[in-house]
Amino acid sequence: MEWKVKDESKCKKVIEVNVDKNAVKETYDKIFNNFKQNASIEGFRKGKAPEHMIKSRYLDSIHEEVIKEIVPSAYQNVMKELKLHVVTYPALSDVKYTTPEKDEVEFKIIVEVNPEFELADYGKLKIDVKKFNGVKEEDVEKEIKRIRQYRGTLKQVEKEKVEEGDFAEVSMSAFVDNKADASLTTDSQLIQIGAGGFLKELEDGIKGMKLGQEKDIAFVFPADYFNKRYAGKSAEFKVKVNAIKVLELPEFNDEFAKNMAGMQSADELKKALKEELEKRAQSEVRQHNTAEVLKKLADQNQFEVPEGLVQQELDNILSRYENAMKQQGISIEKMGLSKEELRSRNRKQAEENIRVMYILQKIAEKEKIEITDADVETEIRKIAADIKQDPEAMIKQAKAQDNWDALRAKLTEDKVLDKMFEISGAK
């Protein structure tokens, strides 16, 4: 058996394999004899039919079986000899006999491998650093108001007109480009005025309307409206105010704290809210600085990445996007987008994500950053304590479900980022 390797690109290799006559003949003879022994041909006992009749009836099937047996075995031998570290599942192509006598077999193995690249100097990495500046009292008060609103009760009131902050219960008929639109038409829609949860033009138009009043509200959807189906189109809503409601907020006191979070006092809840806001703010700072570091590293290191990994990352991006939309009760179809368009839009990001993965791996090697099993176990115990789960059970589960290496990779990435934060002044 012979083979030669061709570089089709920086990350793709094509291995042309030729299986010689001796190996093909040995396999052919074995399969032919098997067909001969089991062939049922009228006028002959099983296994006694002449060879020319076996060939006449079964030759194509015999050749197919020869291919099926030879190619997998040859493929495994070639991959074992070459010792290539492939990153996606290899593909076979152009499987065929190479002579009229069909006594040699040829095929190609297409593999993707890790890219080779020189890491750009990151010793003077500069980014737009964001710092954690603590949490202000006004931020805590806003959070208290938010949770009071969450626990608030809507009450219908007798008011002369709809005002800022009110909830208007409306029925409306929608027309887009002078055509009725069933998806925007409703008998009952609750809209809080000024909250930004609905179309601003619609909220502004409803503000000031009286109970029972009907009104036509016309506007043009923004050109960059998230739902391409409506972007840039003219709209007219025939709106009627059926009820005006206000949100009554509970008092923030010890009783509220007990009912809301099982805490002993309002002061205890307020302290807990501040701590949560601090964690959230610190997380946002890290996310900002992480994005800055990764973008800078990606810009400094331009190299080709395996297409198969890019496609896998696109699958992941689209899956996360679709799940996020589903949680909001929206499908990508309703937004006027196709999966092909979403893949095209996100391709650059997918390529960058894969490139960043390789960059961080190389930095970890250069900086001799290693995560031990003990480090992984410590992290799992920390997570278990945070979510009040049995750490031993979580450790066992992580090993059983192959989450161990994924967590190791995440911890490695975190350590590399900490090093980059130190260099860039973000730490």
List residues bridging with 388 in a β-sheet: none
**Structural domains in the chain (count):** 3
**And the tokens for 124?**
């003077």
Residues 6+ apart with CB under 8 A from 359: 119, 297, 298, 301
Name the 3-class secondary structure at 33.
helix
CB 335 within 8 A of CB 226: yes
Please count the CA atoms within 13 angstroms of the CA of 255 that sit on its side-chain side.
3
User: Could you list the pLDDT tens digit for every one of the 427 residues in the chain?
Assistant: 889 999 999 999 999 999 988 888 889 889 988 888 887 777 777 777 888 888 888 888 988 898 898 888 898 889 889 888 899 989 989 988 876 667 888 999 999 999 999 999 999 889 999 999 999 999 999 999 999 999 999 999 999 999 999 999 999 999 999 999 999 999 999 999 999 888 899 999 999 999 999 999 999 999 988 888 899 999 999 999 999 999 999 999 999 999 988 899 999 999 999 999 999 999 999 999 999 999 999 999 999 999 999 999 999 999 999 898 888 877 777 777 788 989 999 999 999 999 999 999 999 999 999 999 999 999 999 999 989 999 999 999 998 877 899 999 999 999 999 999 999 887 7
Domain CATH number, residue 241: 3.10.50.40
The verdict on residue 307 lying in a domain is: yes
Based on the fold, state whether residues 409 and 291 are members of the same structural domain. yes
Residue 315 sits in the same domain as residue 204: no
Q: What is the pLDDT of residue 161?
A: 95
Residue range of the domain that includes 7:
2-112
Domain harbouring 323, CATH code = 1.10.3120.10
CB 384 within 8 A of CB 394: yes
> Is residue 229 domain-shared with residue 324, that is, in the same domain?
no
**Cβ atoms of 405 and 375 closer than 8 Å:** no
Pair 237, 216: CB distance under 8 Å: yes
pTM (2 d.p.): 0.76
Do both 17 and 108 map to the same domain? Answer: yes
Asked whether residue 145 is assigned to any structural domain, the reply reads: no
The per-residue pLDDT for 332 is 78
Cα–Cα dist 147/130, whole Å: 28
Task: Answer with the one of 86, 112, 138 that is the final residue of a domain.
Answer: 112
257 inside domain? no
Residues 6+ apart with CB under 8 A from 146: none
State the residue for tokens 């990495």.
Answer: 125
Q: Are residue 305 and residue 406 in the same domain, yes or no?
A: yes
- Residue 268 located in a structural domain: no
Q: What order do you get walking across the sheet with 105-112 strand by strand? A: 2-7, 12-19, 105-112, 91-97
- Does residue 397 sit in the same domain as residue 296? yes
Q: What is the pLDDT of residue 255?
A: 94
Structural domain contains residue 53? yes
Residues 108 and 186 in one domain: no
Same domain, 394 and 328: yes
Q: Which pLDDT score is estimated for 326? A: 86
| 58 within some domain | yes
Neighbours of 340 (CB within 10 A): 8
- Both 293 and 419 in a single domain? yes
Residue 310's pLDDT is 97
**Residue 419 located in a structural domain:** yes
Tokens of 178: 């002078």
Query: How many CB atoms are located within 10 Å of the residue 296 CB?
Result: 18
Q: Residue for token digits 């995560």? A: 371
User: Which residue, 102, 81, 115, 112, is CA-closest to 3?
Assistant: 81
Of 112, 144, 165, the residue that ends a domain is 112
User: What are the two backbone dihedrals, phi and then psi, of residue 243, each rounded to the nearest 5 degrees?
Assistant: -160, 150
Element (H, E) at 368: none
The verdict on residue 141 lying in a domain is: no
